[in-house]
Structure 1
Amino acid sequence: MNLAMVEELIQALTLANDSEKVRAIVFQGEGENFCAGGDIKDMAQAQKRHQQGEADAYYHFNRRFGQLLSLAEQSPKVVIALVDGYALGGGFGLVCVCDYVIATKSAYFALPETSLGLPPAQIAPFVVKRLGLTTTRELALLAGAFKGEKAYAINLVNTLTEDQEQARLDLDDKLKQLKRCAPGATAITKSLLLNPDNLPQEALLDLAAQQFSGQFTKANAEANPEALEGTKAFMEKRPPAWMESAPAIEQEPV
């Protein structure tokens, strides 16, 4: 993953986050691997820029990836990873910010940074949030590595499959399941779970009550308030409007 790819992913995520038509974002590697981590050649370019007088070349190279991770983690959309092959370093971090992870048994996860003389600088906070401090200490300090079955055992992975074909079928099932859920309520729920502003509990509960109320009163140009539509559809034994208008499942790369 080089800086150009990071910039493209940030652009794609920004467009997806702002689009009412997008219900989910899926990360999947092209070919046999998910992501082998940061591009060593790009690091060499950062060294060259630093030697030419660009004092913050290394900082920008590293920090921009952290901004990508934050953008993905805080996306109002449901973010899913389908992992096969290597998910190393930055690829591991990208997995950690996803809402749902499907992986094959042959998927290989690792944090090799310290074995390369580097800290997992932008990745570490997200791994701690996903796996807890004790597990992260072992992985990060000892450059740990493991395959899909252990990833499932430590709750990094939600669904474990035999191969990519089964993983794609499971992905289709999850995307169909997601269509049942109101996009506005999904975005609010994700924000409440993540609490990105680190609000104290009472303030968070106040915010939750305001957002709960808004689901009955706020409508966009094409639909009734989601809570009213959802309860009405339940009583009338029909699909809610957001399910009927949901786009067809597409798996085209961004």
Structure 2
Amino acid sequence: MTLSTSLTDLQVDDSIQLEQHGSILTLWLNRPESRNAMSVNMVNAIQQVFTHIENDTSIRAVILRGQGGHFCAGGDIKDMAALRLEAANVGSLKPYVDFNRRFGAMIEQVDQAPQTVVAILEGAVLGGGFGLACVSDIAISRDNAQFGLPETGLGVLPAQIAPFVVKRIGLTQARRLALLGLRFNGETAQKLGVVHDVVHDETELEQLLSEAIQQIKRAAPLASRNTKALLHRTLNEPLESLLDDAAQQFAQAVGGAEGQEGTMAFIQKRLPTWTEK
């Protein structure tokens, strides 16, 4: 296992672990003693990684997983206690605001990452963990994973998570889940549209992940990045100008190296060269 050039000198907090196999980077949430609750250090470390790989076209996918049988149980209560003390000392709510907004910036960064993001969801997938699942491109869940938005039951709001949950499952379902604080398993998460596939054991999970990775490698790296960016734009831009720009991108792709290699591979009945990486 060798980290790519963009990551070799990166010093990250031990709340996460990095594991790379070729073009596939696995980012492990590594606080199993707290069910991988999201600490300030973890948020910062995740941002560090996604900042460093943003322009690294050799990394084609990021797999998000949690150590110890859990994905992420939400925000770290210990950090909340520390923020309470800091807010009292400065006589301002700013420490709360800064921390919460930093978490939202991290979620947005993962959402907009040019790489394909795959979430492997086991055990607790709560609060911030639920939000992270909602910005994945591919979500695979164990049937017995526990999903939920428990914030209102704790007297707080799913403040930074809410927009991404609504985009994932729609306003009607998001209102019900957030206001009732419901807990539900992987099969219900699939029905809601949070996850794409549900598996029943570790063997099935690894097999499905392997298949997903192979499919990711079949997509041309640059075409994949540009397609993801285009899909994001469909939510915010006027249709006519978006389609005009998409036509230009299509023309550039057809005449570019990937388009030529893809066409030649099809004619020669072979896999394109990018599938080997």
Normalising by structure 2, we get a TM-score of: 0.83
Partners of 1:165 and 1:37 in 2: CA distance: 27
TM-fit CA distance, 1:89: 0.1
- Alignment match of 2:73 (pick from 27, 33, 36): 36
Partners of 1:197 and 1:185 in 2: CA distance: 19
Deviation sequence 1:79-124 (CA, Å, 0-9, x none) = 0000110100000000000001000111100100000000100000
Contact 1:74 1:196 in 2 (8 A): no
Q: Quick one: which amino acid aligns to residue 190 of structure 2?
A: Y
Contact 1:37 1:87 in 2 (8 A): yes
TM-fit CA distance, 1:241: 2.0
- Alignment match of 1:228 (pick from 250, 260, 266): 260
Alignment correspondent of 2:128: 90
**CA distance change for structure 1 residues 83 and 206 in 2, over 3 Å: closer, same or farther?**
same
- Count matched residues: 239
Deviation sequence 1:223-253 (CA, Å, 0-9, x none) = xx21111111111222212113x1xxxxxxx
Partners of 2:147 and 2:217 in 1: CA distance: 30
Structure 2: gaps (5+ residues): 1-37
- Alignment match of 1:14 (pick from 51, 58, 79): 51
* 2:45 corresponds to 1:45: no
Query: Residue 130 of structure 1: SS of its match in structure 2?
Result: helix
Q: Quick one: which amino acid aligns to residue 152 of structure 1?
A: Q
Q: Percent of aligned pairs with the same residue?
A: 46
Structure 1: gaps (5+ residues): 219-224, 247-254
TM-fit CA distance, 1:136: 0.2
Q: Quick one: which amino acid aligns to residue 39 of structure 1?
A: D
Bigger RCO of structures 1 and 2 (CA < 8 A, at least 6 apart): 1
**Superposition map of 1:177-196 within 5 A:** 177-195=215-233
Normalising by structure 1, we get a TM-score of: 0.91
Partners of 1:46 and 1:30 in 2: CA distance: 26
Query: Residue 238 of structure 1: SS of its match in structure 2?
Result: coil
Q: Which runs of 4+ in 1 moved over 4 A?
A: none
Q: Quick one: which amino acid aligns to residue 38 of structure 1?
A: G
Alignment correspondent of 1:153: 191
**Superposition map of 1:79-118 within 5 A:** 79-118=117-156
